[in-house]
Structure 1
Amino acid sequence: MGFIKYVKEEINIIRDRDPAIKSNMEVFLYPSFKAIMWYRVAHKLYVKKHYFLARLISQKTARKTGIEIHPGAKIGKGLFIDHGHGVVIGETAVLGENVTLYQGVTLGGTGKEKGKRHPTLGDNVMVSAGAKILGSFTVGSNSKIGSGSVVVSEVPPNSTVVGVPGRVVKRDGVKLPQNDLNQTDLPNPNLMDINHLQRENEELRNILTQFMKHVERAERKEKKNEDI
């Protein structure tokens, strides 16, 4: 009965967040479904200290799906991993409810910490393709991490983070809706910096132009006085 309930929940999650699915039966073909199902089994074994069996299941699942979830990670309800190849979730990672991860995402450590080494993601967090979140800090609920970003420090709730290293470029206090999975229309901090430099350059040009005009007027006035 528990398995049937789990399958129904997964069907609803996948159909809600992936427009490519056309029928309920397709859920059984999804790497995300297989990886999360076997993670739940491995995690129960891990909690009971059956570490070898837990790792055996997780490693076999990683080879079959391309999604590596350490059985020690703590994952809430509603996780959806789209495509999934190259996704890595570390041992001490903690994921809240309704988290969405795209392909190539890493929730890893920096190699320096002991104990809690991996990130904590709040509820309704979306991590776009290829993003890396490295370290034992928290990404606040309702936040978005842009494609290819490398995040190495705390992220407040309701934030949008992009870039390498990742930085918050949007935080307006408005919670991002659950179905807002747009990976592309995110601010570009590099373009913002370039635009800022262009504005400063234009201001300096204007100041220099005015200064040169002032110098020219002064020189003409001085020459005129000499002629007199």
Structure 2
Amino acid sequence: MSLPSKLFKSLVTIKNDLKEDIDAVFTRDPAARNSLEVILTYPGIHALVLHRGAHCLWNNEQKLAARVISYGSRIITGIEIHPAAKIGKRFFIDHGVGVVIGETAEIGNDVTLYHGVTLGGVSWNNGKRHPTLEDGVTVGAGAKVLGPFTVGKNAKIGSNAVVVKPVPAGATMVGSAARMISDYHDEKGNPLTTKVQDAKQQEKIAKAGDSSEDQTADTTPTAKRTNTFRAYGIDPYSQDPVAEAFAKMLEHIQQSENRLDQLQSAMCDIDPSFCKKKIR
């Protein structure tokens, strides 16, 4: 099939999908009054229609034209959707400004996004980098979903939440408390610290600050800041600090139990009757 024929067929499909897209607006936005108003004034509809056209061009190796349409859509609507992103039916972007949908993102049917949502990637892999939203997912205003994982069917992500791990179907995710997980990372993602633990070394560094001659000798850091760019400031190798804290706590509990067992054994050697006593 020739390119013009493919484009014409795509336009017919876009026209047929448009009615479903408009109907989706009425079911999710009580402010919508009539179809003409939705077509003329809803940036989410404009961005979706333009994306469907750009996506068709992208799939037919007209990538520059697809990017130009995507760029124009961003200027008009404030919504940035990469033309390679896969979007299902009845997709609704409410308000729209600040929405970003990355290249390898996949969105199912009946999905709703609010303004300020980012579906981003945190790695430089050539393959899958962005999230997959299954059918019926709702993502609240300002939420960030970062990484190549799946948000399950009918899951809900609250406003301003930051999600970096898979979400089970039907789950609700909220919260975005930031915690320091490390100062810097090396190329392999291992955390590096620039804190100098030794007080004498700190004193040397302080003195070196006053002397340009000794500066290179005494202020050589224990770890260098890398120039590796981290998309969205997230390192895909970063460990969950809460999980690490629990792991350390469990390890400490196990060590304490071992020490108690050793202590009990020693007490029993000294006083055999001790082991026969019941602990209340």
TM-score (norm 1): 0.70
| Alpha-carbon separation, structure 2, partners of 1:79 and 1:122 | 11
Residues 46/165 of structure 1: CA separation in 2 closer, same or farther (3 Å cut): farther
Q: Segments of 4+ in structure 1 off by > 6 A?
A: none
2:46 corresponds to which letter in structure 1? K
Q: Are the counterparts in 2 of residues 152 and 165 from structure 1 also a CA contact under 8 Å?
A: no
- Say whether the 8 Å CA contact 1:135–1:152 is kept in structure 2: yes
Note if contact 1:135-1:153 (Cα within 8 Å) is conserved in structure 2.
yes
CA displacement, residues 139-190 of structure 1 (integer Å, 9 cap, x when unaligned): 0011000000000011111100011269xxxxxxxxxxxxxxxxxxxxxxxx
Whether 1:21 and 2:32 are equivalent positions in the alignment is: yes
**Secondary structure of 2:129's match?**
coil
Partners of 1:2 and 1:110 lie apart in 2 by: 33
Percent identity among equivalent residues?
A: 54
**Aligned residues of 2:137 and 2:154 also touching (Cα < 8 A):** yes
1:185-204 matches, cutoff 5 A: none
Residue 8 (structure 1) aligned with residue 19 (structure 2): yes
**Selected match of 1:67 from 79, 87, 108:** 79
Equivalent residue for 1:49, pick from 51, 61, 77 = 61
Secondary structure at 1:107 match in 2: strand
Q: Cα 1:55–1:142, aligned 2, differ >3 Å: closer, same or farther?
A: same
Equivalence map 1:206-221=2 (5 Å): none
Gaps of 5+ in 2: 1-11, 179-280
Structure 1 residue 6, shift from structure 2 partner: 3.0
Within-5 A mapping of 1:138-149? 138-149=150-161
- Structure 2 match to 1:204: none
Distance 1:164 1:3 in 2: 37
Please identify, of 124-133 and 156-165, the stretch whose mean Cα deviation from structure 2 is larger. Answer: 156-165
Instruction: Give the Cα separation in 2 of the matches to 1:112 and 1:152.
Output: 16
The answer for unaligned runs of 5 or more in structure 1 is 167-228
Is the Cα contact below 8 Å between 1:140 and 1:155 reproduced in 2?
yes
Q: Work out whether residues 14 and 52 of structure 2, in 8 Å CA contact, stay in contact via their aligned partners in 1.
A: no
Aligned counterpart, 2:166: 154
The offset of 1:54, in angstroms, is 0.3
- 1:57 deviates by 0.2
Instruction: Give me the whole-angstrom Cα distance separating, in 2, the residues matched to 1:120 and 1:6.
Output: 21
In structure 2, what is the equivalent of residue 98 of structure 1? 110
The residue matched to 1:37 in structure 2 has which SS? helix
Q: 2:120 aligns with which of 99, 108, 121?
A: 108
Higher strand share: 1
Query: Contact 1:151/1:165 (CA < 8 Å) preserved in 2?
Result: no
Instruction: Name the counterpart of 2:135.
Output: 123
Q: 1 CA distance for matches of 2:163 and 2:14?
A: 36
1:223 matched to which residue of 2?
A: none
Distance 1:4 1:56, change over 3 A: closer
* 2:51 aligned to which of 28, 39, 43: 39
Measure the CA separation in 2 of the matches of 1:45 and 1:121: 23
